[in-house]
Amino acid sequence: MFAPVAALASGGVVGLVLGLIGGGGSILAVPLLLYAVGMPSAHIAIGTAAVAVAVNAAAGLALHARKAPIRWPCAIVFSLAGVGGAFAGAAFGKAVDGQKLVALFGVLMVVVGLMMLRPKDKGGRTSAWLTRENAAHMLPRLVLLGAGVGLLSGFFGIGGGFLIVPGLILATDMKLEDATSASLVAVTAFGLSAATSYAWSGLVDWNVAGLLIAGGVAGALAGTKANAILARRKGALTMLFAVFVILAGLYVGGRGLFDLLQG
């Protein structure tokens, strides 16, 4: 497939998944850039994907902020703690051999798929705001978990929403829907941090990033409309996608390991 068309189509796939099931699509960006678009290295694919992740998350954040209040204090503390981790993770990622990075990314995809298969707890939570009264209890958790998630996000150049959401729930006892909205603050911050680090090293293909974003917008619009039609089947769609991510992760990890052994 011609590279520009492949980049647009890849963005469309990512956006479609995000619009259809509300998350997980960005995990496909790096494999699509490597194997569909044909990017020359894992590092350039990760840097380029990070740009698209940051832009898409910022757009999603704007939409969520208009619909419902976001737990800004918790989200900001978590994000600020994770930005340093994201920069450190990006530095580590750039220092790792590309084939090793691909193999590790495959492992990550399998983990993400398995996490998506787990039932989500939606009840029994208070979604407390960060206040002076609970800061002594909540701040250390937000900082520690934010830094850890930011490190992984920067290393792999992904938004990390699949880790940010449970991290926010664990730190603050948020409801799932509140954690999902607040996570977009961190996804934007972490994606921007990783993108900045990779761009500084010349590891971003801006033309492909633009096409990926444009395709993502179109895909997200289509996915959102499809979501309204298939709302009752969202659980089944999420499970199907999770299985696909696991299988894709096994392929990506196996191919990266094979290339590593061949080298």
Q: Using only C-alpha atoms, what is the Rg of the chain?
A: 18
**Residues 152-170: pLDDT tens digits?**
889 988 777 778 888 888 8
Per-residue pLDDT averaged across 23-31, rounded? 80
Six-digit token pair at 190? 């972490």
- List Cα–Cα distances, 241 to 9, 21, 22, 49, 246, in angstroms: 18, 9, 12, 20, 9
Mean pLDDT of the chain: 85
- Please, which pLDDT band fits residue 24 given cuts at 50, 70 and 90? low
DSSP for 49-67 reads: HHHHHHHHHHHHHHHHHHH
- Please, which pLDDT band fits residue 1 given cuts at 50, 70 and 90? low
Per-residue pLDDT averaged across 203-215, rounded? 94
Per-residue pLDDT averaged across 50-55, rounded? 89
Nearest-angstrom CA–CA distance, 27 and 73? 27
From the centroid of its chain, how far is CA 206? 19
> For position 17, what pLDDT does the model report?
80
Q: What is the model's pTM? A: 0.84
Give the least confident one: 60-74, 84-98, 126-140: 126-140
Which single residue is written with the structure tokens 């998506």? Answer: 116
- List Cα–Cα distances, 21 to 2, 16, 215, in angstroms: 28, 9, 17
> For position 146, what pLDDT does the model report?
93
Six-digit token pair at 51? 């740009």
> For position 260, what pLDDT does the model report?
82
Better-scored residue on pLDDT, 47 or 129: 47
Say what percent of the chain tops pLDDT 90: 39
**25 near 158, Cβ under 8 Å?**
no
